[in-house]
Chains A and B, each alone.
Chain A
Amino acid sequence: MKKFVTSVIAFSLLLVAYYGVNIMVNSHLNSKQVKVGDSKIIAVGDSHIMTAVDPQFSMDLINIAQSSEPYLASYLKIKKILESQSEVETVVLGLGYHNLSGYYDQKLLTNESTAIFDNNIQLLGTYELSNQSYDFERYVNSFLKNQCIYPQLKKRYLGAYKATRSDLAKADLSQTVKKHFYEEEQIHDFSDTFNLFYLGQIVNLCSDYNINLVLAKTPTTKKYMSQVPIVYRGKLQAVVANFKKKGVYTFALEIEDKEVYFKDHSHLSAQGAQVFTPKLLDYIARLK
């Protein structure tokens, strides 16, 4: 028995050592990854910002948006960045009608969101973890998977601008609208657990660090706009009005409904980004 227990302990130590090394390497890589150099403007958000803000227009601008990114992840990224450096003066955060939808909460809370969750959960501090109704087992699974197996060389937490071609002709508008705003034929409830809560947290965070926060609504096609449920339009107005009182800036741009400007009905193409980004930068320049 003694020999067996010694062997099991020795094997466990080997396993722990292997995992320990990976955790240390990954922690180091992660801390390096959530850094944005000398950039003064950071664009954060989901795929809508990811495809709309082209950093080639300014040396001071960096786009760190990621596809399907919830505000929880944006909050944690911004927090890490602001904690680690003081160059940032302005945060541009995407805010569209779809960001208000409970669809985003569902993505975080249900299994379908595993990839998004996995990418972001490691940024959670113990405060966020204990303060929210996260499944601890899920956290551990994700931690073991992402931090213990091998070094994660890919930048997982910082996104980047993605230039896309126009594919509007093939875009399925009804599918997009359904996904964003409907659940089993009923209009989706607004986010009540995470997304709107963390939007508020981002506002407070930027205020604490005395950083300009610009809530940017990226252009969509008129067809898309016509299908956004009225309650969502009212909600966005109310949310924006509320944040404006707290000193938050808002930027919205409608551009010509040309096919070349749109990847699909709610995302800009690279050509659309070339129209949108300079206008956004002009707006930010006027804030100073």
Chain B
Amino acid sequence: MLFQSYEFLFFFPTVFILFWVLNKGSLSARNLFLLGASYFFYGYWDYRFLALILASSFVDYTVGLLLYKSVQQNRRKWLLFFSIAFNLGVLGYCKYLNFFIENFAGMLSSIGIVQDISTLSIILPVGISFYTFQTMSYTIDVYRKSINAEKNIITFLTFVSFFPQLVAGPIERASNLLHQFNRKSKFNMDLGADGLRQILYGLFKKIVIADNCAVYANQAFADYHELSSPYIILGAVFFAFQIYGDFSGYSDIARGVAKLLGFDLMKNFNFPYFSKSIGEFWHRWHISLSTWFRDYVYIPLGGSRGKRSVTVRNVFIIFVVSGFWHGANWTFIVWGVVHALLFVPSIFREKKDKISPIEVSLSSRVLDFGKILYTFSLVCITWVFFRADSIEHSLSYLAGIFHLEHIPYNGYYLKFVPVLGLFIIWEWFNRHTEYGFGVLPKHKMVRWCLYICVICIIIYFRREDNAFIYFQF
């Protein structure tokens, strides 16, 4: 079920009312209801894949309990290994098997052994990368003894399948979310209103920004050979905002929905396109995934504690794995490698790339804007690899930037440029707020009129082909 569908418009108010009614009574009944609602939400797309979530949840629930009871280190290691192997095995089969088959066949044919190996027809279950990583983080945390194992199976199943963040994150940690299922939610008027606002802003980003940018971006990536340089660059910029609006919009809706149920999900985006360096960008973009890789891959590998060469190696590993997490295509791996290459210089700098405020003096401000523009340009270049169908496609697209011959273009969607410009300005003035919809009129009626305006804009710009990009990951 999509957040922006009419089905969800009926689904969520029903869940909201029943949830708060049940919240007054037994916690188990409330969680059982939430579990049922989450499975309905997921199964609405294809109920058969519920079996995969159930299998993954049962394995990690059991392993969690065994890890908690077990004192033998060797046995604990084996249990952890089993859980990771199972989760990655399912993920690998559903998501990466065909990629490996194709590349294996390609390798054999390149050395003269012609192989006609057919691939399998496997449907990628929506959100598998997200909930797999979530359950894995639980098992690893129990193994590390940083959290206790969850004994109540309903609570654990609800934690894994909690519908607001089930199919596209944020990838939650048990340490943040699991305990919230073990206490009664308390409704807070301000938090509820904030949740609704965040949902509205998320819908705006998805429907108005992402879906409309997608039209031009798709056109540009398909017909780039018929476009001159400025339009090719614009295509990459539109894609940058498509993916930002799409994914951060989803995260906002997820967090807003969770807030209305009294849950707090982690922040996933923090105005990433206002970053002044690639390092800062990764502190602001898909925070739940980058911190996942930091905590469960980068730090166990040694992080930045050892020699610089080891740090560089670790950085490359997490970026390549992160790229591969996004999809079974070399383009994602190259996207990861390019980001690693852009990130590595920061390792050799004294001053680390962390989120820093814009400087106050005029010269510093100008310099900061320059840095933001430079970083955004680099990010747009990397998005070309992410969006393209193949490496050849991405390289041809990038080569098109130097196609200086003027070809007139009268595409209707250039009219969307001012809308995008206004969105960037809006985000800039709201960059210190939690999600971009914070600087609001004080008077209630004026605020409500603003919300009605936003709803009208959403309806006006709504398009039909509108699934979230990150569902495919």
Contact = CB atoms under 8 A, between A and B. Distances in A.
Interface of A: 1, 3-4, 7-8, 11, 14-15, 18, 111, 114, 137-138, 140-141, 144-145, 148-150
Interface in B418-473: 448, 451-452, 455-456, 459-460, 462-465
B127 interface: no
A148 B5 CA distance: 18
A242 to B, nearest CB: 36
Contacts of A8: 196
List the 6 closest A-B pairs by CB distance, nearest first.
A4-B192, A144-B459, A149-B456, A1-B187, A4-B189, A111-B464
5 contacts: A11-B448, A111-B463, A111-B465, A140-B6, A144-B459
B448 A14 contact: yes
A14 B452 contact: yes
Contacts of B189: 1, 3-4
A7 B448 CA distance: 10
B366 interface: no
A137 B2 CA distance: 13
A2 to B, nearest CB: 9
B187 A4 contact: yes
A133 to B, nearest CB: 15
B193 interface: yes
Given A18-B452, A137-B6, A138-B464, A148 B459 contact: yes
Interface string B1-38: 00001100000000000001000000000000000000
Contact of A141 (B192, B193, B462): B462
Interface hub of B5, B451, B460 (most chain A Cβ within 10 A): B460
Given A4-B193, A7-B193, A8-B196, A145 B452 contact: no
B451 A149 contact: no
A282 to B, nearest CB: 41
B296 to A, nearest CB: 38
Which among B20, B189, B193, B459 has the greatest number of chain A C-beta atoms within 10 A?
B459
A145 B458 CA distance: 9
Interface of B: 5-6, 20, 187, 189, 192-193, 196, 448, 451-452, 455-456, 459-460, 462-465
Contacts of B455: 15
A149 B193 CA distance: 24
A193 B310 CA distance: 65
B460 A145 contact: yes
Contacts of A148: 456, 459
A206 B462 CA distance: 38
Contacts of B464: 111, 114, 137-138, 141
A48 B462 CA distance: 31
B193 A145 contact: no
A203 B5 CA distance: 39
Contacts of B5: 137
Contact of A149 (B187, B196, B460, B465): B460
A71 to B, nearest CB: 23
B371 to A, nearest CB: 40
A140 B7 CA distance: 13
B88 to A, nearest CB: 38
B63 to A, nearest CB: 39
Given A15-B452, A15-B455, 20 more contacts: A4-B193, A7-B193, A11-B448, A18-B452, A111-B463, A111-B464, A111-B465, A114-B464, A137-B6, A137-B464, A138-B464, A140-B6, A141-B459, A141-B464, A144-B459, A145-B459, A145-B462, A148-B459, A149-B456, A150-B456
A1 B23 CA distance: 12
Nearest to A143: B459
Contacts of B192: 4
A114 B460 CA distance: 13
Contacts of A144: 459
B450 to A, nearest CB: 12
B57 to A, nearest CB: 31
Contacts of B452: 14-15, 18
B20 A1 contact: yes
B125 to A, nearest CB: 24
Contacts of A138: 464
Contacts of A149: 456, 459-460
Contacts of A140: 6
Contacts of A7: 193
Contacts of A15: 452, 455
A111 to B, nearest CB: 5
Nearest to B189: A4
> Which of A4, A7, A137 has the most chain B CB atoms closer than 10 A to its own CB?
A4
A135 B196 CA distance: 28
Nearest to A7: B193
A15 B462 CA distance: 18
B85 to A, nearest CB: 43
A129 to B, nearest CB: 16
Contacts of B196: 8
A18 B196 CA distance: 20
Given A111-B465, A141-B464, A11 B451 contact: yes
A12 to B, nearest CB: 10
Contacts of A150: 456
A137 B10 CA distance: 14
Q: Which of B456, B462, B465 has the most CB of A within 10 A?
A: B456
Contacts of A111: 463-465
A36 B172 CA distance: 62
B285 to A, nearest CB: 31
A72 B233 CA distance: 42
Contacts of B448: 11, 14
A8 B16 CA distance: 13
A11 B448 CA distance: 7
A111 B466 CA distance: 12
A111 B193 CA distance: 35
A8 B193 CA distance: 9
A11 B465 CA distance: 29
Contacts of B456: 148-150
A143 to B, nearest CB: 10
A7 B447 CA distance: 13
B19 to A, nearest CB: 11
B262 to A, nearest CB: 11
A7 B195 CA distance: 14
A1 B21 CA distance: 11
A203 B452 CA distance: 45
A150 B192 CA distance: 30
B216 to A, nearest CB: 15
Contacts of B463: 111
A11 to B, nearest CB: 6
A264 B456 CA distance: 40
Nearest to A110: B464
Nearest to A140: B6
